[in-house]
Structures are given as structure tokens and as C-alpha cells.
Amino acid sequence: MEKIRKRKNTGRVTLQDVAKYAGVGSMTVSRALRTPDLVSDKLREKINEAVTELGYIPNSAAGILASGQSRTIAVLVPSLRDYASSVFLQSLQDILNNKGYQVVIGSHDYQQKKESEVLFTLLQSNPAALVIFGAINSESVFSYLKNIDIPVIGVAGESTHSFSLNIGSNIGEAVYFLTNYMLQKGYKKIGYIGAQMDSKIQSQQLNGWTKAMLNHYHSAEQSITTPYVATMDFGRQSISEMLTRQPELDAVICSHEMLALGVIFECQRRLIKIPSMLAIACVEGSSNCDHIHPSLTSVRIDYSKIARETAKKLQKWLADPNYDYLNQQEEIIFPYKFEARQSA
């Protein structure tokens, strides 16, 4: 087989280069790469050897133009570091990759100004569908969404925009329930520590805590929040500030597990006994809550299950060219799970 040089103008090996190297036609190479079952084992092995030797990377954009179909799913998330985003992304990617789809991910780090920029970049990949997780949804984002004709799924986010499908959970109701649980346990001076409060879904948490406290005629003034990502350091700093403001504080609810861990570590440093001196609970809990000491009371949401439902809907829609997703508005609410543990 003849040695092929990469093109000087692009440095990219072409389909024609692979065909020449393998001694076959371009159509045969294309068929072997796209529908390998239609090519003999011997010929397919010969072409694969040429692809490997030359380092050929198929041009997916050209394939989209030829077939009119994209195998790319764009996913916009608020952060790659928080628990909810990472669990959802991993599960969604595993399922879609197994079905022949590629997931393109963009993160705006809870910055409203950055959200529309990242979305614009994602849409340039000509995706077959768009998934928006934990939406902030600035006005500029809505302008993009009005002009695209692909299925859009909103997950775990409160939005004024009607997506083809909205998948969420009653997070405000969950925090209201959690606060009531602690009040019924006899705690009265309950604080709230929240992160990522630019997100509407996180604001629901604060509202749930406030509503429960006021309904029981207790003060809802002991709250510390940040628009930034949840960290243990912020949890430690916040509980220190709260205890300075109100030494008689007897319980705290955290919007994220990471914040609660910071609170626990700070209490241990100060020799504050949990829960006799300070009860702690969190939202967005994971299995980690079961293994720390004391084990952490939490509200949990099954983001893996939500990802499976998202992937299921996407596969169904994309397999049906006649599906009218533009005029479809569907909503699915997943239940939360309450886990009472030692910390409260």
C-alpha cells in the first residue's frame, strides 16, 4: 500500500487518502465506516488498518450534511463540579453513547452572562437535541430557544420558557418538609445556608425553609447564601458567622451536601456535639451521607433516574421524524426521598 502524506493546507487526512492507501474506492471506505455490517470482514480489516495507520478522523459535519441527521446531543449544565450535574451527566452520557449519540457539554459556572455564550457555542455543533440542566435562563437564552427547531428538554430547573419536556422535582416542597421535620423534633432556631442562589431552583429551597419557619411563627432571618458553587469552605465560614450572630442556634439546613460537610467539620473543630448542640440536614444528599460520622439527614433526588428518563424521551423523539416536538409541552415530576439520619 502506498504511503500517503497529509494535506499541507489543512494537515488533515481525508477519506480519499484512506481509500488510496487501502486500494479501494471512497464509497467503500464510507460504507465501511458508517455501516460496517455491509462490508466483508477482510475488506473492513484492510480499511481499519488504513484508518489507524493514517490517523484518519471522520468529518462528522460532512456526515450530517450528507444524511441530514445529527448524532450529537448538546447538554448545558451550571457546573461540572456539583453533585447533581455530575451524576446526571455521567448517566445521560453512558446511555446515549451506547445508542450511538455523542454528548457535547457546556458549563456556565452559575454565571447568567456566560449562559447564553455557552449555549450559542453548543448550538454551533448542529445538535439533534438540547438538554438544559438546572437552568438559569437569561433573556438572551430565550431568544436563542425561540429560533431553534430541535427538541429541548429542561431538567431540574425552574423556567418561564416552555420546553418540549420539563423534568424536575418539588425541591421547594422537599425543603418545606425537611424544615417541618426538624421543627417537629423540637428545634426552633433553624438557619439556612444556600449556594448557587442565582438558580431559580435554589431560590425555591430558600422559599420552602422560609415558609415553614413563618408558618410555625419562628424567625426566618438566619440565612446565608451565595451565588457561587457550594464548597465545604463556604459551609464552615457560614456556620461560624451564624453562631456569632445567634449562639443559641440549634439547627441548620444546607442547600448542598458539600456545605453540610463543611458545617460538620467546623462543629467537630469547635467540639460542638451533633445533634445535641446543633442539628444538621442537607438537600442534594448522596450515599456519602450514610458513611460520614454522624450520618447526615438529607433529602435526595435520583438524578441517574432522571437522566434515564431524559435519554428515553430523546431516543423516542429522534427515532420518529414526524414527532411534533415544537408544539409539545410535557412535564414530569420526580419524587424526592427523605433519609433521616443521626445528624438530626
Domain presence at residue 5 = no
Band (166; pLDDT cuts 50, 70, 90): confident
- Predicted local confidence at residue 242, as pLDDT: 97
Reduced 3-state DSSP string for the chain: CCCCCCCCCCCCCCHHHHHHHHCCCHHHHHHHHHCHHHCCHHHHHHHHHHHHHHCCCCCHHHHHHHHCCCCEEEEEECCCCCHHHHHHHHHHHHHHHHCCCEEEEEECCCCHHHHHHHHHHHHCCCCCEEEEECCCCCHHHHHHHHCCCCCEEEECCCCCCCCCEEEEECHHHHHHHHHHHHHHCCCCCEEEEECCCCCHHHHHHHHHHHHHHHHCCCCCCCEEECCCCCCHHHHHHHHHHHHHHCCCCCEEEECCHHHHHHHHHHHHHCCCCCCCCCEEEECCCCCHHHHCCCCCEEEECCHHHHHHHHHHHHHHHHHCCCCCHHHCCEEEEECCEEECCCCC
- Predicted local confidence at residue 51, as pLDDT: 86
Regarding whether 262 and 205 lie in a shared domain, the answer is yes
Regarding whether 327 and 284 lie in a shared domain, the answer is no
Band (318; pLDDT cuts 50, 70, 90): confident
**pLDDT > 60? residue 159:** no
- Predicted local confidence at residue 4, as pLDDT: 47
* Rounded average pLDDT over 204-215: 94
Overall number of domains in the chain: 3
Band (218; pLDDT cuts 50, 70, 90): very high
Q: In whole numbers, what is the pLDDT of the chain averaged over residues?
A: 85
Domain presence at residue 27 = yes
Domain presence at residue 1 = no
* Under 8 Å between Cβ of 139 and 109: no
Reported pTM: 0.73
CATH code, domain carrying 220: 3.40.50.2300
Cα 194 to Cα 204: distance, rounded to the nearest angstrom: 11
Regarding whether 244 and 296 lie in a shared domain, the answer is yes
Instruction: Give the cell for residue 220.
Output: 426566618
Regarding whether 175 and 161 lie in a shared domain, the answer is no
- 271-314: pLDDT as tens digits: 999 999 999 999 989 999 999 999 999 999 999 999 999 999 88
Regarding whether 190 and 80 lie in a shared domain, the answer is no
Domain presence at residue 113 = yes
- 5-56: pLDDT as tens digits: 444 344 567 888 899 998 998 888 888 887 777 888 888 889 888 888 887 8
CATH code, domain carrying 20: 1.10.260.40
- 80-108: pLDDT as tens digits: 888 888 899 999 999 998 888 889 999 88
- 60-80: pLDDT as tens digits: 555 544 545 678 999 998 888
Domain presence at residue 210 = yes
Regarding whether 109 and 145 lie in a shared domain, the answer is yes
Regarding whether 269 and 121 lie in a shared domain, the answer is no
Domain presence at residue 340 = no
Regarding whether 164 and 77 lie in a shared domain, the answer is yes
- Predicted local confidence at residue 325, as pLDDT: 65
Domain presence at residue 95 = yes
* Under 8 Å between Cβ of 155 and 332: no
Domain presence at residue 2 = no
- Predicted local confidence at residue 69, as pLDDT: 60
The whole domain housing 130 covers 71-170+304-335
- Predicted local confidence at residue 1, as pLDDT: 43
**pLDDT > 60? residue 146:** yes
Regarding whether 287 and 176 lie in a shared domain, the answer is yes
Instruction: Give the cell for residue 334.
Output: 420526580
The total number of residues written for the chain in this structure: 344
Tally Cβ neighbours within 10 Å of residue 209. 26
Q: Which residue has the higher pLDDT, 224 or 196?
A: 224
Q: Which residue has the higher pLDDT, 35 or 132?
A: 132
Regarding whether 319 and 246 lie in a shared domain, the answer is no
Regarding whether 294 and 179 lie in a shared domain, the answer is yes
Regarding whether 142 and 244 lie in a shared domain, the answer is no
Instruction: Give the cell for residue 338.
Output: 427523605
